[in-house]
Chains A and B, each alone.
Chain A
Amino acid sequence: MSQFLQTIVFGLATGSLIGVAALGLTLSYGVTGFINFAYGELLTVSAFSTWLGVTSGLPLVVAAAVAVLVVAGVALLLDHAFYQPLRGRGAMPLLITSIGLSFVLQNVLRMGFGADPRPFPVPLVRPWTIGSVFVPPVQAVVFATAVIAMAVLHVLLRRTMLGRRMRATAENDALARLSGVRTTATLRVTWVVSGLLAGLAGLMLGATETNVTATMGFVFLPVVFAAVILGGIGQPYGAMAGAMVVGIGMELGATYLSPDYTLAFAFAALVAALLFRPHGIFRGGATRGT
C-alpha cells in the first residue's frame, strides 16, 4: 500500500512537470495550428540558461527568472524569423521548419557546451516523510508550480480580453480578423505565453533530472505530445489531465511492470488514445479530414 502511495506521489510530480510543458505546447498548437517540434529545445534552453546564470554568480531564483524570460524571447524570435513568414501555407511546411529548428538549436547548444551533462543547480534537501511516504521538496515545488501555472492560465484565457482574442484566433483565424482581432499580434502573445510555460517546464525538468544536456528537451518531447493528444489538442485543461494520466501511468508502469520501459508506457498510452479516443479524452479531432 505504501509503495502504491509512493508511486502516486512520484506520478503526480511527473504529471505536473509534463503538464506545465503540455500547457505551453497545446496553447501554441491550438492557436497556430501546427505542432512545434522545436518546443523541446525551449525547455533545454531554459535549463542551460539557469545553469549558465548560476555558474556566473547569479542567485538561483534570479537565474531561473532570467532563463524563463530568455525562453519567451527565443520563442518570439523563432516565430518572427521562421514561422510568421510561412503563415497561410498550411501546417506541413511549419511542421518541417520546426523540426529543422529543433536540430539547429539542439546542436548549437552542443557545439557551445559539449556533450557532457552539466549539473542543474538545485539545492539538495532531505525529503519530507508523511507516514511511510517520502515527498522530496523539489517534487512538492514542481506540483505547486503546476497548480499555480494552471490557475494563472485559466484566468488569462477566461477572464481577460487577451485570452478572448487568443481563443477567437484559435477557433477561427479569419473570422477573428474580420471581427477586429489583430491576429498577428495575438499570435505573438501566444508564443510568448507558450515560451514562458516552456521556460518554467525547463526549470522543472532540470530540477527533476538534476542535470542539463543538449538533448533533454527533445527526449522529453514525445511524452509531452502524449499528454497533449490525450487531452485533445488546444485544450489546456485536457492537457493537464492528460499529463496526470501519462505521469501516473509512467510511474505505475515503472514500479509494477518494468522500469526499462517507462517511456514506452507513455507512448503506448498515446497510441491507445489515438486508437480508441482519437478526439482526445475531452475533444479535438484526430481523424478529421485535412
Chain B
Amino acid sequence: MWGWLAFGSSLVTLALIYSLLAMGLDVQYGLAGLLDFGLVAFFAVGAFTSAIVTLPPLGSSGYEGNYTIGFGLPFPVGVVAAGVMGGLLALLVGATAVRLRGDYLAIATFALATIVQITLSNETWLTRGQFGISVIPQPLRTLVPSSNGYLHAYLVMTAVITGAGWAVARRLAKSPFGRALRAVREDEIATRSLGKQTSALKLKAFVIGGIYAGVAGSLWVHSIGGVHVNQFVAIITFQVWLAVLLGGAGNATGVVLGSFVLVALREGTRFLDLVPGASNLGRVNPTFLPSLRFVVIGMLLVVVVRVAPDGILPERRGRRADAGAGSRESVAAATEAPS
C-alpha cells in the first residue's frame, strides 16, 4: 500500500516536472509560435548546473564518489543557477536563431541540442561523461528520515515550484507582452509594422522557455539523485511537444494536463508486463517494452496533430483569427471548415 503511494507520488512529481518543461515550450511555441526542437538542451544544462552547484567540493567531509567539481551550495542556489544557465543558453542560441523562419529554426535548434549533448558527453572533467554523476545531494534529506516520506515531501516542493511557474505563465499570457507574442505568432510583419520589435519579443519568449526548462532540469536531477548525458536525448523534446499539443498549445492549464496524460500513458506501458504474451516477448527481447512506449508516443503525435490539433483545452480566443497558411490557426480553421 505505502509502496504504491510512493510510486504514485514519484509519478506525480515527474508529471509536474514535465509540466514545467511543457509550460516553457508553451511560451516559446504556444505564445510566440517558435518551433523549438532543442528544448532538451536547456533541460540538460539545468540538470548539470544544479548537480555541480550542490555537490560537496573535492576533499570536503560530504564528498563521496567520482566527480571533480562541486561547490557545495544549498539546493535553492542550484535551482536558481539552473534557471539562469538554461536562460543564458537560450539567449545564446536564440540571439542567432530566432530570426529564422519556422522550419529553419526547428532544424537549427535540433542541431544545437545535438551539439550540447556532444559537448556534455565529451567534457568529462565537468560532467563525468559516460560515467555520469551518481551521488547528487537531495535537498532537506536529513529532515525527512523515511525514504517514502521524502518522496511525498519532494512532491510538495515540486508542486509549489511548478504552481508558481503556472501562475507566472498565466499572467504572462494575459499581459501586454503575451498579447504581443501572440501577434508575432499570427503575423510577424503586421506586428513589426505596428512598431513592435518582433525579434526582441521572440528572443524574450525563447529565453523564458529556457529558464523553465533549466529549473525543470534542477528539480529532476535532485529527485533521482543522479545524472548521465545519455538521458538527454531528442525524444524528451518531442515528449514535451506531445504534452503541449495534446493539452492545448497556448493554454498553460492545458499543457499541464497534457503533461499528466503523457506521464500516465508512458508509465502505463510498464504494466504491459502483466499481459501474459507481452512478458514473454519482453524476456526474448529486453528492448521490446521500452521501444513500444516510444511507438505509442510517436503514434500519439501523429494522431493528435491529425484529429485534435487544438488539444484537450484549446487556447481561449476572443475572435477567430484569419491567419496565413502554416500557423496553428489555419490548422484549426481547416479542420473546422465544412468540407
Decide if A and B are genuine partners: yes
Known: A111-B295, A270-B108. A263 touches B100 (CB 8 A): no
Kindly report which residue of chain A lies nearest to residue B189, judged by CB atoms.
A289
Q: List, sorted by A's number, 23 A–B pairs whose CB atoms are closer than 8 Å.
A: A86-B306, A88-B325, A90-B325, A90-B330, A92-B326, A92-B331, A97-B306, A100-B305, A101-B302, A103-B238, A103-B297, A104-B294, A107-B291, A110-B291, A111-B288, A222-B107, A222-B111, A222-B114, A226-B111, A229-B104, A260-B122, A263-B118, A287-B100
**Assembled-state Cα–Cα distance A111/B238 (Å):** 20
A282 interfacial by beta-carbon distance below 8 Å? no
| Among A267, A268, A275: residue with most chain B CB under 10 A | A267
The answer, yes or no, to whether A14 is at the interface (CB within 8 Å) is no
Q: Which residues from chain A contact B97 at a C-beta distance below 8 Å? A: 271, 274
Q: Closest residue to A284 on the B side, CB-wise?
A: B104
Chain B residue nearest in CB terms to A88 = B334
Contact status B102-A92, CB under 8 Å:
yes
On chain A, the residues within 8 Å of B35 by CB distance are 92, 95
The digit string for B106-148, where 1 denotes a CB below 8 A from any CB of A, is 1110111011001100100000000000000000000000000
Q: Are A89 and B331 in contact (CB under 8 A)?
A: yes
Residue pairs across A and B with CB atoms within 8 Å: the count is 153
- Interchain CA distance A110-B287 in the complex, whole Å: 7
Query: In the complex, how many residues of chain B place their beta carbon closer than 8 angstroms to a beta carbon of chain A?
Result: 54
Interface residues of A in 4-61 (CB under 8 A from B): 34-35
In-complex Cβ contact of B302 among A34, A91, A100, A222 (8 A) = A100
B111 touches A267 (CB 8 A): yes
Within 8 A of A (CB), among B71-106: 96-97, 99-104, 106
Q: Which of B118, B291, B300 contacts A261 (CB 8 A)?
A: B118
B119 proximity list for chain A (CB < 8 A): 261, 264
Q: Is A2 an interface residue (CB 8 A)?
A: no
Residues of chain A within 8 A of B101, CB atoms compared: 285-290
Chain B positions within 8 Å of A290 at CB level: 101-102, 188, 324, 326-327
**Is A225 in contact with chain B by the CB < 8 A criterion?**
yes
The answer to whether A96 touches B241, judged by C-beta atoms less than 8 angstroms apart, is yes
Pick the contact of A91: B102, B306, B334 (CB < 8 A).
Answer: B102
Residues on A facing B (Cβ under 8 Å): 34-35, 82, 85-86, 88-93, 95-97, 99-104, 106-108, 110-111, 114-115, 218, 222, 225-226, 229, 260-261, 263-264, 267-268, 270-271, 274-275, 278, 285-290
* Nearest CB of A to B184, in Å: 11
Q: How far apart are B58's CB and chain A's nearest CB, in angstroms? A: 25
Interface string of B147-171 (1 = CB under 8 A from A): 0000000000000000000000000
Q: With A and B bound together, what is the CA distance between A108 and B108 in angstroms? A: 27
Q: Which B residues lie within 8 Å of A106 (CB)?
A: 294
18 additional A-B residue pairs with CB within 8 Å, beyond A93-B331, A267-B111: A89-B331, A92-B331, A93-B306, A95-B103, A95-B106, A99-B241, A100-B299, A100-B305, A103-B298, A111-B295, A229-B104, A229-B107, A261-B122, A267-B112, A268-B115, A270-B108, A271-B112, A274-B96
Q: Is B265 an interface residue (CB 8 A)?
A: no
Which B residues are in CB contact (< 8 Å) with A274? Answer: 96-97, 100, 104, 108
Residue from B106, B108, B325 within 8 A of A271 (CB atoms): B108
- B258: Cβ under 8 A from any A Cβ: no
CA distance A177 to B222 in the complex (A): 58
Q: Do B301 and A96 touch (CB < 8 A)?
A: yes
Could you tell me if B96 and A35 are in contact, using CB atoms closer than 8 angstroms? no
Which of A35, A97, A102, A289 touches B103 (beta carbons < 8 Å)?
A35
Q: Interface 1/0s, chain B 316-339, versus A by CB < 8 A?
A: 000000001111101100110000
Contacts of B102 on A, CB cut-off 8 Å?
Answer: 91-92, 290
| B272–chain A nearest beta-carbon distance, Å | 12
Q: How far is the CB of B19 from chain A (nearest CB, A)?
A: 20
- CB neighbours of A264 from chain B (8 A): 114-115, 118-119
How far in angstroms is the closest Cβ of chain B from A174? 11
Contact across chains for B99 and A287 when beta carbons are under 8 A apart: yes
Max chain B Cβ within 10 angstroms of own Cβ: one of A90, A222, A226: A90
What residues of chain A lie closer than 8 Å to B234, measured between beta carbons? 218
